[in-house]
Structure 1
Amino acid sequence: MRIVKLNAIDSTNNYLKALGSTEFISDFTVVTAKNQTEGKGQRGSVWSSEASKNLMFSVFKDLSSMPLEHPFYISMITSLALLNTLKSFEIPKLSVKWPNDILSANKKICGVLIENVIKQNKINASIIGIGLNVNQTSFENLPRASSLKNIANKNFDMDEILKVILSNLKAYFLLLEAGKYESIKEEYEAQLFRKNKPSTFKNAEGLMFLGVIKSVSDTGYLQVLLEDDILKPFDLKEITLLY
């Protein structure tokens, strides 16, 4: 496995995309950075991180030989690999806030940004960007953010955590390659934050409404049971879970 370690970069996802345009990238090439100046999150948000305190990396996954009908399964297995890693480091009360934020209790400790490379109308590869708050302790203006150190009250070895994440990610990709879609989806849904609990959501127009998370579709839509007993699917641009 090739691991590229950088002191600073705008975005490890951007670095891998640029690298892929100039040379062949082997499967599971990893790029890590001590400082990421323009880290990206879901919905165009910025992933802000204190230099040298957190784990910021991207993984290149070759999908050219995998007939993947539903790309959201990449998001599911990435979330599960992260959850299982953090469980092994005894981080408590873990869950996935749809689609792939990792929470401990109700605090966000990890974000994921997946960018797929399309060739001839097919997913050829995936660049999986992960930002995990490890040893940072202060999160100014981010009341919902926390870190492994804040939760466990100790410092963590980031190289050790990276090694376990990559091992788990490889194991879950083997399950995906073996077509274990049902078991992957079942395990992912079991870890969903606020599943089967009345919750408040905000739609794209900014209006708030009540609903209950029931499941996700193969395409990644969140299935929410509304007050009138209608099960309605929402995509990422249409809904925000307030908590």
Structure 2
Amino acid sequence: MHNFQPKTLFLGKKTIYLPSCHSTNDIAAEIIQNKQVFDGTIVITSDQTAGRGQRGNSWEALPGQNITASFILKPAFLSATEQFRLNIAISLGIYEFLSQYLPNNLKVKWPNDIYVGDRKMGGVLIENTLFGSRIAYSVIGIGLNINQLSFAETNNRAISLRLATQNLGEFDIEKLIGELCVSLEKYYLQLKNGHYSKQKETYLEILYRYQETHFFSKNGERFLGKIIDIAPTGHLIMSVNGEIEFFDFKEISFEI
């Protein structure tokens, strides 16, 4: 990562590479606390020993085989109530980046997991710092399975880019991160320039199980539901037994 120079305006122009660390999101948060931060700074590691995902889950990643990075942004143009807009923009950036290698069967699972078919390739953990009613800083942790060929038996739904493409050789991680930066910056700047409505429309088009009836579970109980929209707050809007219901993050689980 010593010669890492993505073809971007600002994202990734300052990169902090750590051969090993517990969590890139935690390191990014420490940088923000010390006020030594440039917009678009990236913290990258080859070996993340305590990566975190949504719901407090751990993130399994073998050293040197995947993308484990955190991106620091200053989206002061967003209010606290508009946080999910950033979530959508980041999801679209990741989707576009991966689409050049996986043109089919790629989806975003609400709120921001990356799926190939019914198998998970990656996830995002966004942690925001507020200043009054605005978002002062966002730390966007991204974990994407790239070259890893085997996963724990308890993680049998995981998949990597190499497995999904049946690529015989390893992908160049540094090159991929550069491409990811370009796509993320593109959709972030679109959002900043007021294109939220179009981004939400695209997000729904690529949303896993959108407008499909499937089983979900809440508090251990299964139910049939259909995803019909996403609320401005990020809540999942579903049709359940003919009624419209709203679900918060961590409130329901998708059943495979």
Please report the TM-score for the alignment, with normalisation by the length of structure 2: 0.91
Matches within 5 A, 1:51-66: 51-64=63-76, 66=77
Q: How does 1:1-80 map to 2 (within 5 A)?
A: 1-64=13-76, 66-68=77-79, 69-80=81-92
Give 1:91 shift.
5.2
Q: Give the superposition deviation at 1:237.
A: 2.6
Aligned to 2:10: none
- Tell me the SS of whatever aligns to 1:82: helix
Distance 2:44 2:183 in 1: 17
In 2, Cα distance between equivalents of 1:96 and 1:134: 17
SS in 2 for 1:109: strand
SS at match of 2:239: strand
1:216 corresponds to = 230
Tell me, yes or no, if the aligned pair for 1:92 and 1:105 is still in contact at 8 Å. no
Picking from 172, 180, 183, the partner of 1:157 is 172
Equivalent residue, structure 2, for 1:198: 213
1:86 to 98, 110, 130: 98
Letter aligned with residue 185 of structure 1: K
**Within 1, Cα distance between the matches of 2:17 and 2:142?**
15
Amino acid at match of 1:63: P
Offset at residue 163 of structure 1 (A): 0.8
Q: C-alpha displacement at 1:120, in angstroms?
A: 2.5
Q: 1:122 aligns with which of 100, 121, 134?
A: 134
Residue 222 of structure 2 aligns with an amino acid whose one-letter code is M
Equivalent in the alignment of 2:255: 242
CA distance in 1: counterparts of 2:133 and 2:211, whole angstroms: 37
Q: Percent identity?
A: 33
Unaligned runs of 5+ in 1: none
Contact 1:91 1:104 in 2 (8 A): no
Say which of 93, 113, 116 aligns to 2:125: 113
**Any conservation in 1 of the 2:72–2:140 contact (CA below 8 Å)?**
yes
The CA deviation at 1:92 is 3.0
Alpha-carbon deviation of 1:162?
0.7
For residues 22 and 224 of structure 1, what CA distance do their matches in structure 2 show?
Answer: 42
Secondary structure of 1:78's match?
Answer: helix
**Where do 4+ consecutive residues of structure 1 move more than 4 Å?**
none
Offset of residue 85 of structure 1? 0.4
Greater share of strand: 1
Bigger relative CO (Cα 8 Å, ≥ 6 apart): 2
* 1:100 aligned residue: 112
Whether contact under 8 Å (2:101, 2:165) holds in the other structure is no
Q: How well do the aligned residues superpose, as a CA RMSD in angstroms?
A: 1.1
Choose which of 203, 211, 232 in structure 1 pairs with 2:245. Answer: 232
User: What one-letter code is carried by the residue in structure 1 that aligns with 2:255?
Assistant: L
The count of residues paired between Structure 1 and Structure 2 equals 240
The residue type paired with residue 247 of structure 2 is F
Q: 1:174 aligns to what SS in structure 2?
A: helix
Distance 2:63 2:90 in 1: 24
Amino acid at match of 1:173: Y
Q: Check the 8 A contact 1:108/1:144 in 2, yes or no.
A: yes
CA distance in 1, matches of 2:210, 2:102: 23
Structure 2 contact 74–135 (Cα < 8 Å) conserved? no
TM-score with structure 1 setting the length: 0.96
Q: Which runs of 5+ in 2 are unaligned?
A: 1-12
